[in-house]
Chain A
Amino acid sequence: MVYKVNVRAIVIQGLSILVLCALIELAAGNVMERMKESLTVTLPALIVMIPPLLDLRGNINGALASRLGTALHTGVIEPRLSMSAELKVNLASSLILSFLASATIGILSVGIGALIGKTVHITALLVIAISAGVISGIILAALTVLVSIVSYKRGWDPDNVTAPLMATIGDLITMVSIFLIAILAG
Chain B
Amino acid sequence: MAVYSLRRILWESYPVLVVCAVISLGAGLVLSSQTESINALPMILMMVPPINGINNNVCSILGARLASALHMGMIEPSFKRQKVLKGNTNATWLMSVGVFWFTSAIFFAIALISGRGVGQSIVLMFAFFVASMVAIAVTMLCTIGLAFVSFLKGLDPDNVVIPIVTSIGDIMGVTCLLIAIKIVIGV
Partner-B contacts on A (CB < 8 A): 3-7, 10-11, 14-15, 18-19, 21-22, 24-26, 28-30, 32-33, 35-36, 39-40, 44-45, 47-52, 54-56, 58-60, 62-63, 66-67, 71, 76, 85-86, 89-90, 92-93, 96-97, 100-101, 104-105, 108-109, 112-113, 116, 118, 159-160, 163-164, 167-168, 171, 175
Contact = CB atoms under 8 A, between A and B. Distances in A.
B183 interface: no
5 closest residue pairs by CB, A with B: A5-B87, A48-B28, A52-B24, A159-B64, A29-B46
Interface residues of B, number: 70
A29 B43 CA distance: 9
Interface of B: 2-6, 9-10, 13-14, 16-18, 20-22, 24-25, 27-29, 31-33, 35, 38-39, 42-43, 45-50, 52-54, 56-58, 60-61, 64-65, 68-69, 72, 74, 83-84, 86-88, 90-91, 94-95, 98-99, 102-103, 106, 158-159, 162-163, 166-167, 170, 174
A4 B88 CA distance: 10
Contact of A97 (B13, B24, B158): B13
B84 A3 contact: yes
Contacts of B28: 47-52, 109, 112
Contact of A63 (B2, B13, B64, B87): B13
Given A30-B46, A36-B42, 7 more contacts: A49-B28, A58-B166, A62-B162, A63-B163, A89-B5, A116-B32, A159-B68
Contacts of B94: 7, 11
Contact of B13 (A45, A93, A113): A93
B46 A54 contact: no
Given A48-B25, A56-B20, A171 B53 contact: yes
Given A52-B25, A56-B17, A29 B158 contact: no
B39 A40 contact: yes
Contacts of B54: 18, 21-22, 25
Nearest to A98: B17
A55 B31 contact: no
A47 B31 contact: yes
Contacts of B69: 3
Contacts of B9: 89-90, 93, 97
Contacts of B10: 93, 96-97, 100
A32 B57 CA distance: 19
B46 A33 contact: yes
A163 B17 contact: no
A21 B54 CA distance: 7
Given A26-B106, A51-B170, A86 B4 contact: yes
Contacts of B35: 40, 44
A54 B21 CA distance: 10
Given A52-B24, A54-B52, A175-B49, A10 B91 contact: yes
